[in-house]
Each structure stands twice: as C-alpha cells, then as structure tokens.
Structure 1
Amino acid sequence: MPGVIEAKKRIIEASKKGQKIAIYADYDADGICGAAILYKALKDYFDEIKVVIPDRSEGYGLNKDAVEKMVKEKISLLITVDCGIKNVAEIELAKKNSIDTIVVDHHQLGEKLPKAIIVHPFLGKDLQFKYFSGGGVAFFLSKALSKKEGQEKWLLDLVAISTIADMVPLVHDNRIIAKYGLLVLNKTKNMGLSKLMEIANINKAGAYEVGYMIAPRLNAAGRISLPQKSFDLLINEDVKKIESDARELDQLNLQRQDLLKNGQRDVIEKIKKRGIDKGPFIVIETKFPEGVIGLIAGKITQYFYKPSIVLSVRDGLYKGSARSIPGVNITQLLKDCEHLLESFGGHEQAAGISIKKENLTKFKKQILKLSEKFDEKIFLKKLYIDALIDIDKINISLARNIEKLEPFGQGNYKPIFAVEKASVRDIRYLGKSKDHLSFDLGGNKAIAFCFEEKCWKLEKVKLYDIAFSIEIDRWGGREKVKLIVEDVKER
C-alpha cells in the first residue's frame, strides 16, 4: 500500500521522541472502525493516543477548529482516517504549527494533494486492486505496525465491518478481507462487538447481519447523537460500560429507524406534490436532522430511480447528501457545479455537499441541466435475472450451494432467480406497520419487504412472474428454504 513505509517510519520516530499523537476519523462505521483498527495497533507504541471523531454538524473531513485545538494540545503527529485527502488547507495549517500529518484515506483524489505522508491505494501504480474501504487502508498500515506476527488477524472483524458497511466492491482483496473478517467476527475478541451482537440477537454474522444490523447500530450514534460513543464501544474493556454503551446504541438505532420512516414518507409526499420527480434529478430541502438525510436520499433514489440530493439547513448553510444510480457519476456532476458549492466530496454513487442558501436556486437549475444529457434509458430501473427456475427445483441443497458463494455485496451480488406464471398461497402481512408480506410459493416461504412502496398487489386467484433470491432460514437447529422477493409482475 503506497505510503505505508513512510508512515510507519514517522510513527516510530514520534514514539521514540515521546511526541503526542492524534487520530482524526470520519463519523461513519467505516471511519469509526478504521480509527479503532489504527488505535489498537498504535497502543504498542504510545501510552496515550488522542482520538477525535467529529460530530456530524462539524461537516465531513478535517476542520480548522480541530487543528487549532490540536495546536493548543501540542500534538506533533496527526493521522486522519477515512478523510483528509481533500483537506489541503487544514493540513497546511497544521504544518505551519509544527504538526506533521499522515493521511489514511480511500476517497477520490483532488487536483491538489495535501502536504502530508499519504497512505492511499489510488497512488499505487502497481496495485492490482485499489477499491478498499477507509478501514481497509488503515488495516494495511496497522499490519505494518504489528510487532507480533499474526497479531493483526484479530483486527479483521473491524476491517470486514468497514468493508461491508462502506459498500466497496466485494471482489479481489476485499472478498478475502470480508470472508476471513466474518470468520474472525464470529469468534471476536472485541468485547464491544460481542455485546452488540448479543443485544441484536445475532447468532452468526454474515454480510447481511453486518450491513443491516451491526453497521446501522454503529452509525446510529453519529446520526442522532455523538459518534465517539461507537468508537468507545469498540476499544473499551470495562464490562459495565460496554453493556451500557451497547444498549444505548441499540436504542439510538430504533430512534434512527423511526426518523427514517417518517422522513421518507414526508419527503416522497413533497416530491410528488411539487412535481419534482418529473425531471431527471431530484433536489429537495427537508426539516429532518442532518444525520438521517443520507438515508432518506438513498430511499428517494430507490423509490424514483433518479439521482437525488436531500438537504437540511442550519444558520443559512445547507448540508446535503447525494445518492445516485448506475451510469450517473454524482461526484463528477457536483464537480461541474463546484463554483456554487462551499464543499463536496464522495464517490460515484454517494456524496456530501454544503451550499449557501443564496446559491441553492442556481445550483438546482445547473444540476438539472447537466442531468438532461443522460440517455433516458439510464433512468429505467433494471433487474437482471440470473436464471429461470422451476419451482420444484428450489430446495435446501440448492440453497446451501448458493451460500458457498458468500459473502454477497457490491460487485458480488446474490444470484437472482425467477419463476413464471406462478400462483401464491397463504398471504400474510408482517411487521408492526404491516408493511411486509409473506406467502407460500411452491411450498417455500417467500417474504416481500416494503411491498406497498413497490406497488405490489398479490391475490390468490392470479398468476405472477416472481423474481427472488434464495436463502436458508435457520431456527431451532432446523433449516428451511426462504425466498426474498425482488420483483413481482402480474401475468
């Protein structure tokens, strides 16, 4: 990994000189896990390590106030994790005040790089694979710092969480990281993770459990409270504190779910009422907290299948989260509007922005105009079916063979099957709000999540083409086939 050797030398130098060191990480699950990975490796070199996980209201990346505070605290070496690559001015300020910086990041490179030691896969000309998570990049540095061979293996649980949570492609090296990281996670020595899994009723953690049960709980603190709580859980060894923190994250996640549900419903209604969904790009302001607007943007993009930006305002400055669809590079679109933005950054499919209120109308017009260049076919949602299958061929043996292809995620998707002209039986509504559906399909239990959002209507007397993935439902020592419905079309 480019920069690892130089970074290790500077860290060892700081240790020998007794210099003060600080970690500054992003507030999402990737950044928090990355900070914990590096913290555990650095404990072999330093008795005290300052760790800063900024509040979401401070904005993404290193900020001037944080640097000035570190100057007062006489920090000599700053390590940014999952951020920093675009913080040229802030790192220059640190350098002027005798603080050296190591940037450990994976986000897109800017036109100008900060004056720092940079650990970043995109700077490696000979790397066969470059699309690691921030925690993944931190792991390579931690591995180099490890004083005992094989010791870094026990950090792979955190690396797997960061990799799956940040939705980087689960191919090549990431597939290895995720596979073996999940093995470590299920034997984890991390007391905080173990307690969080216990509270979430996770008996065996796979990619689904990480993406939909563990990562949301770690993210919940940063969305509606303080992200430092999640970091503390991952490094703490006080049993009582771990119990308390894990339960608090669980409760924060429940609050986050309620906020998301209300926010999604409210924003969809506004978009339809104002006719904003008629254009190729959706930009909308909302009253909901900054911590959930990214989740709302994701839901809006899924619902309308169009790129979207959801904004919240504070003190005349709008903070926004952008989500996109395949074929539309959201970060490139934002770059073309850069003169109207205070800041922006992200990936092809997700980004964050800040914009002054007086520039919002101009921004909306420009991004709509830029979006009109895309072929209309891009905005047609597609579901690729891997194979048509006869209902009587769906069995536990097939489900077990599919399971061997795990972990599934970005770039390694679950196989999607479809049956044609199928009838359904035993239709039941599930969930507190009755927004999920289960039914019998050829003797197998099928579940359709959020079926009303997708406008699916099922009746026993009709025939349907049904697309689904195949899973194993394990309960009480027994295994049954479970079908997760992806789409339904009436014949």
Structure 2
Amino acid sequence: MAAERWMLQTKRADFDEIARSHRITPVTARIIRNRDVVGREAVERYLRGGLEALYSPYLLKDMELTVAILKEKTRESKPIRIVGDYDIDGVCSTYLLYQALTQVGAVVDYEIPDRIKDGYGINESIIRAAAEDGIDTILTCDNGIAAVLQIKLAKELGLTVLITDHHDIMKDEGGDILPPADAVVNPKRSDCSYPYPEICGGLVAYKLVQALYEAFEVPMEKWLEMLEFAAIATVGDVMKLQDENRLIVKEGLKRMGQTRSLGLLKLMEKNNLDKNQITAYQIGFVIGPCLNAGGRLQTAKLALSLLLCQDEEEADRMALELKELNDQRKDMTKEGTLEAVRQVEEHYADDKVLVVYLPECHESLAGIIAGRLREHFQKPSFVLTDGEESVKGSGRSIESYHMFEALVEVKELLLKFGGHPMAAGLSLLRQNVEEFRRRLNERTELTAEDFVRKVWIDVPMPLEYISEPLIEELELLEPFGQGNEKPLFAQKGLHIRSVRVLGKNRNAVKMSLATEQGTPMDGMLFTDGDLFLEELGDKRRLDVVYYPGVNEYNGNKSLQIIIRNYKIPGEV
C-alpha cells in the first residue's frame, strides 16, 4: 500500500463573520471555505440553493437553434434518431431525450453503440444505417463533438445533425474544431457563455428537454419529473459536485423515491436500497454500476430498456438481470485486481508508472482495474488486455502525472489513444507492450514524494466539540462526492478503552475511546479487523482522521465517530 501523509487545509477567511452571516458554526464556515466556495451569494447558494438557482438553458450556444429545428421536424413528423453512448451518462441522456421527444409528439427512436463492436461515439456504420432507415435527423447526446469526419458523411448523405455533448473540444490555430453539424450544443465551446461548463452529457440533454418543453408549452412539472436522471448521470459520470452539479444532485436525490421510471424503482428494490433515502454514494457505487454493467458485459440497451419499461414483470426481470451482471462484473474485477496487484508486487514494484498486461481480462473492466491499482499503489496505472485485433488498455492517473501528455510522448508505439490528465484509453500491438512500459518509466520525472497519498483534514477538532446539532448542520453540505468531499476532522492521542472485531467477515472494528479530558465516545473503523489487532498489539493510543455521526440502536441515539484513517503512536 502507498505511504500516507496527513495535511491540514489552511485556507484563510473570517470564519466568525461567515458563521454569523449564514447562521452556521465557524467549523462549517471553515469547511465551506476549504471547498473554495467564496462570497456571500455563493455561500448562501451552496447552503440553501434550490432549483431557482439553475442556469437558463438558453445560455448554451445553439440551444435556441436546436429547439427550433426539433420543433420543425416534430411538426413535419420527420423521423429523428437519438445516438447515445453505452455508459451511464449516455444511457441517461438518451432516456431524457427519448422521453421528451415522445412527449412532444416527435417520430423518434434511438441507437446506442456497442462498446466492443462500435467503440465510443457515433461512427460511419451508424450514420449509413440511419440514412438507409429513412431517418431525417440525428440527435447525439454525450458524444459527437469529436466526430468531424463522421458528421461530414452524414451531411453528404442529406441528414440533419444536431450535437449535444460535454466532452473537450479539439482546437487548432483557428480555435475550436467543430463537426459540420446543423447545431452544436456543448458548454465547452469557446464561444459559449454558459456560467458553469463542467456539466455532464445528461445535464446538457436535460437542459435541452427544459427548452423543448417550454417551446411546446409542456408544464414544467413534466420536466421536473425527470430530474433524477440528470442527477444519476452527474454522479455516474464523476462530475465535480460543485455549482450547478451539486444543486441538480441535491434536488434529484429527493425525487428518487417518486420516480416515474418503474425500472429505476425495481433496480433500487433489487439492491435493497431505501428509495426515499438514496445518497450520491449509492448512485455512484450501486445504481450506477448496475446501469453500466449492461454496456460493459452485454449491451447498454438493456439498461435503457429497463428505465423505459412500463411492465412490472418485465422491469423486475431486467432489474434482476442487471444486478446479476453487476455482481458478475464485481467478481471479474476482483479477480483481475488481485492478479494485477500480484504482477506489480512480483515484477514491477520499482516502476513509477505501472503497466500490467492481463490478456484474459474483459476489455470493459481494464479501466476499473487500473483505478484500483492506482488507489492501491498511488501510482499512474495502465491495464492492458487482448482486444479483437490488438492489445487495448485503459489508464488512471495521479494528480502529478498528465496521462494524455505522457501518451503523446510515446505515440509512435500506439495505434490509437485519447484521454485527459487523469484517464486515458489506448490500443497497441502485442509486441510493443514491453517497450511501452519501458519508455513510460524512462521518461517520467515522478519522484517518491508523488507516491505519498495526501489525506486533507478540514479541521483538527477535539471530540468534545461534537454534538447532534453540529452533525445536523453538516448535512447542509451534502451531497458529498467528487469535488465536494465529506469533511474530515482529526484528533491525536485518543485512549483506547476497549476494542472488538465485528461482522461475519471480521471487517469492522468497534472501539470505546476517550480523550485526554476523559470524554468518552465510540469509534467505528471498517478494515481487516484481525490485521488491525495485530498492528495495534499492546498499544492503547490512536491518532484518528474521522467524521462524526449518530448511532441509532434499539431506539437509543449516541454520538460516534467513523474513523477514516489512523496512526498508532509509538507509546505503549
């Protein structure tokens, strides 16, 4: 495992003044400042903002034009085909646009590329098939911005093409390189004035639904009834939970229990989730992976069919199938991760950039396993596997390693590649795998310091400060996730009064703790219990990074801390 350093956030502000202005404690004021939320209006919006704080869809360049074209095509009953993507963002985007266009009376169907056969995004065969099927208009979602040649073909075949996407846009000296579509809606356009461009494809689609419903005078309630899908897409595509994204997720989570999608309700049921208490974590680690499992191991159309399904028995069957596919995916991922870790420990422990070749691994799991390797070793990690024609791979990076630029430096070894600083995809010939590993490691300037995991502490807070009102106030900061991390507190020198291991897998540790002043509190630690006891030995002190919580058991409430990280000081 990687080494770890605890770091204290030191961003400055007048915390007492922020606390007074917004009716919160200075502790909460400090956390908000640590999340870079600055200024009276921004802080109030962060704490108490709702749907009224969302931005107008018309701030997106070409939105008006897209709506005008769709309105005309709908009135003329011209066939429209939505082309989505096989991940959770693409599936939710397709769902939103299909439901909306159906609602306004359009002639509409959809196509989702196959991960293995088609690869990412709209391709030539999808375009030719649309032309042969007599489609008049292609509407993309969560893809299309990079498909310059493909869209050129569509235009030559006489199709109207509307692009909605959120991915980065290629540039040259003349600025953005945009496909020759009839309209391009993408907040990353340099001529787009959208206030917060870091939104996912599902939220771009949701904005289009809003504008379309306004144009067709559909009641706003119908638009709000689909809000949860913009939230699922935002969390599932790992967008930063800041600004508009956080508001969408916050409001969307409240509506999960009332969703009109029978399939989504069944999926929550099959995973034993309380539909009225869904968290961003459960979307990211339970619902999202189930919706993604179809696209990974079979077809993403299964997830979309589930969300659209109106028949109880059929929805039940599909939800179970997706859950089982995800369970299978989890087993395959675990197996692949164990093998990848073994390879690194036996052969590549000294490498700064990890390149692991797992020929038997399902290619759709390479990215997940690369992410697990990165977490385990705190090193940039590539996992390669055998594709149909060549070796394919995915990489996941650390903050100090720009993965896409690293691939540019060895591009002569690669058949294809793409990505951004933190993640990448590539393909190469089998005979180049060793050379790829060697050159990446030869060229990197990473140092031992880069492989130390940093744990950022918001406030060093003695347990005496914890109270139920503070815990309730911290709930104002939810939902937590990427870009709005759960606050972390720290205290040194806690005395361990008793400790016991719980759970049939012995993976939970319950401790009775006390501060130097004698304040008692229970602590829960989720880790390998027996390994922890062995590490603890006869020592009875603990330094902890924690989050405060309330434990409810048999109708009784008590304060406790959930221990996220710990150190055992040297004294007995």
Task: State TM-score, norm by structure 2.
Answer: 0.79
Corresponding letter in the other structure for 1:463: R
Match of 2:417 among 334, 344, 358: 344
Q: Evaluate the alpha carbon distance shift between residue 460 and residue 145 of structure 1 in structure 2; reply closer, same or farther with a 3 A threshold.
A: farther
Kept in 1, the 8 Å contact 2:461–2:490? The answer is: yes
Q: Corresponding residue for 2:259?
A: 188
Question: 1:81-120 residue pairs with structure 2 within 5 A?
Answer: 81-111=141-171, 112-116=177-181, 117-120=183-186
Give aligned pairs, total: 487
- More divergent stretch after superposition (452-461 vs 170-179): 452-461
| 1:169-214 deviations in Å (ceiling 9; x for gaps) | 1111111111111112232222211121122222211211211221
SS in 1 for 2:477: coil
Q: Quickly say closer, same or farther: Cα 1:458–1:295, change in 2 above 3 A.
A: farther
Which residue of structure 1 lines up, in the alignment, with residue 568 of structure 2?
Answer: 490
| CA-CA distance at 1:103 after TM superposition | 1.9
Give the deviation of 1:369 after TM superposition: 4.0
Which of 162, 169, 191 is equivalent to 2:233?
162
Asked if the contact 1:423–1:461 (Cα under 8 Å) also holds between the matched residues in 2, the reply is no
State the one-letter code of the partner of 2:487. Answer: P
Shift of 1:428: 1.3
What is the aligned-residue identity percentage?
A: 30
Aligned residue for 1:2, secondary structure, equals: coil
> How far apart in 1 are the matches of 2:531 and 2:295?
27
The aligned counterpart of 2:477 is 405
Output aligned runs, 1:295-310, within 5 Å.
295-310=368-383
Whole-Å separation in 1 of the counterparts to 2:82 and 2:357: 34
Aligned with 2:243 (options 154, 158, 172): 172
Within-5 A mapping of 1:414-453: 414-424=486-496, 425-430=498-503, 432=505, 434=506, 436-442=507-513, 443-449=521-527
**Are 1:445 and 1:482, in contact at CA under 8 Å, matched by a contact in 2?**
yes
Instruction: Say which of 262, 273, 281 aligns to 1:202.
Output: 273
Asked which structure has the greater CA Rg, the reply is 2
Query: Partner of 1:461 in structure 2?
Result: 539
Q: Which amino acid aligns with 1:416?
A: L
Q: Cα offset for 1:242?
A: 0.9
Structure 1 distance, partners of 2:156, 2:90, is 26
Which residue among 220, 230, 248 is the counterpart of 2:293? 220
Q: Does structure 2 conserve the Cα–Cα contact (< 8 Å) formed by 1:56 and 1:290?
A: no
Distance 1:141 1:374 in 2: 43
Please state how far the C-alpha of 1:397 moved relative to its aligned partner: 3.2
Partner residue of 1:129? 196
1:9-46 Cα distance to aligned partner (Å, 9 max, x none): 22223223322221121211111111111111111344
For residue 11 of structure 1, give the secondary structure of its aligned residue in structure 2.
helix
Letter in 1 for 2:112: I
How has the CA–CA distance of structure 1 residues 293 and 413 changed in structure 2, closer, same or farther, with 3 Å as cutoff?
A: same
1:251 is aligned to 2:324? yes
The secondary structure found in structure 2 opposite 1:51 is strand
Mapping of residues 273-352 of structure 1, within 5 Å: 273-275=346-348, 277-286=349-358, 287-352=360-425
The answer for the alignment partner of 2:109 in structure 1 is 50
User: What residue ranges of structure 1 are gaps of 5+ in the alignment?
Assistant: none
Q: 1-side partners of 2:207 and 2:387: how far apart?
A: 38
User: Is 1:268–2:303 an aligned residue pair?
Assistant: no
Give the TM-score, by structure 1 length. 0.91
Task: Verify the 8 A CA contact 1:346 1:352 in the aligned structure 2.
Answer: yes
Q: Distance in 2 between matches of 1:259 and 1:273?
A: 21
**In 1, are the aligned partners of 2:77 and 2:107 still within 8 Å (CA)?**
no
Bigger RCO of structures 1 and 2 (CA < 8 A, at least 6 apart): 2
Aligned to 2:168, the other structure's residue is in SS state coil
In 2, Cα distance between the equivalents of 1:53 and 1:199?
25
Q: Do the aligned residues in 2 keep the contact of 1:34 with 1:135 (CA within 8 Å)?
A: yes
Contact 2:78-2:107 within 8 A present in 1 as well:
no
* Structure-1 separation of matches of 2:408 and 2:567: 39
The Cα shift of 1:375 comes to: 5.2
Q: 1:311 to 1:408 in 2, by over 3 A?
A: same
CA contact (8 A) 1:107 1:346 kept: no
**C-alpha distance in structure 1 between counterparts of 2:300 and 2:469, whole Å:** 43
In 2 relative to 1, CA 423–102 (structure 1 residues): closer, same or farther, beyond 3 Å?
farther
Query: For residue 5 of structure 2, what is the aligned residue in structure 1?
Result: none
Aligned to 1:6: 65
Offset at 1:121? 0.5
Q: Using the alignment, how far apart are the partners of 2:432 and 2:484 within structure 1?
A: 40
Once residues 352 and 476 of structure 1 are traced to their aligned partners in structure 2, the CA distance between those partners, rounded to angstroms, is 50
Where does residue 441 of structure 2 map in the other structure?
368
Q: Name stretches of at least 5 consecutive residues in structure 2 with no aligned partner.
A: 1-59, 172-176, 514-520
CA offsets per residue over residues 238-287 of structure 1, 9 Å max, x none?
A: 11111111111111121111111111111100111112x42221122112
Q: After alignment, is 459-468 or 317-326 more displaced? A: 459-468
Q: In structure 2, what is the Cα distance between the partners aligned to 1:469 and 1:225?
A: 39
Is the contact made by 2:94 and 2:141 (CA closer than 8 Å) also made in structure 1? yes
CA contact (8 A) 1:400 1:472 kept: no
Q: Matched residue of 2:180: which SS?
A: coil
Distance 1:23 1:479 in 2: 51
The question of whether the paired residues in 2 share the 8 Å contact of 1:456 and 1:488 is answered with no
Which of the numbers 32, 40, 46 marks the counterpart of 2:99?
40
Q: Does 1:21 align with 2:80?
A: yes
Q: Quote the offset at 1:130 in angstroms.
A: 0.7
Between the aligned partners of 1:160 and 1:477, the Cα distance in structure 2 is 33
Secondary structure of 1:106 counterpart: coil
Q: 1:78-103: per-residue Cα shift (whole Å, max 9, x none)?
A: 12211222122222222222223222
CA drift of 1:481 comes to 4.7
Which SS does the other structure have where 2:225 is aligned? helix
Amino acid corresponding to residue 88 of structure 2 in structure 1: A
Classify the secondary structure of the residue corresponding to 2:258: coil
| Alpha-carbon distance in structure 2 between the residues aligned to 1:385 and 1:6 | 47
The amino acid of 2:249's aligned partner reads A
Q: Distance in 2 between matches of 1:169 and 1:102?
A: 26
Partner of 1:80: 140
2-structure distance, mates of 1:82, 1:477 = 47
| Corresponding residue of 1:239 | 312
**CA contact 1:20–1:75 (8 Å) conserved in 2:** yes
2:229 aligned partner, one-letter code: L
- Which amino acid in structure 2 is aligned with residue 69 of structure 1? A
Offset, 1:337: 4.0
Tell me which moved more, 242-251 or 313-322.
313-322
The answer to whether the Cα contact below 8 Å between 1:403 and 1:471 also exists between their aligned partners in 2 is: no
Q: Secondary structure at the match of 2:161?
A: strand
DSSP-derived class of the 2:455 partner: coil
Q: Which range is displaced more, 456-465 or 148-157?
A: 456-465
Question: 1 CA distance for matches of 2:328 and 2:393?
Answer: 21
Which one of 209, 212, 219 corresponds to residue 145 of structure 1?
A: 212
The letter of the residue matching 1:38 is L
TM-superposed CA distance for 1:427, in Å, is 2.7
Equivalents in 2 of 1:273, 1:10: separation in Å?
A: 59
1:438 is paired with a residue whose SS is strand
Indicate if the aligned counterparts of 2:471 and 2:548 stay in contact, CA closer than 8 A.
Answer: yes
Q: What SS does the aligned partner of 1:121 have?
A: coil
CA contact (8 A) 1:316 1:357 kept: no
How far 1:351 sits from its partner (Å)?
2.7
1:107, 1:347 within 8 Å by CA — same for their partners in 2? Answer: no
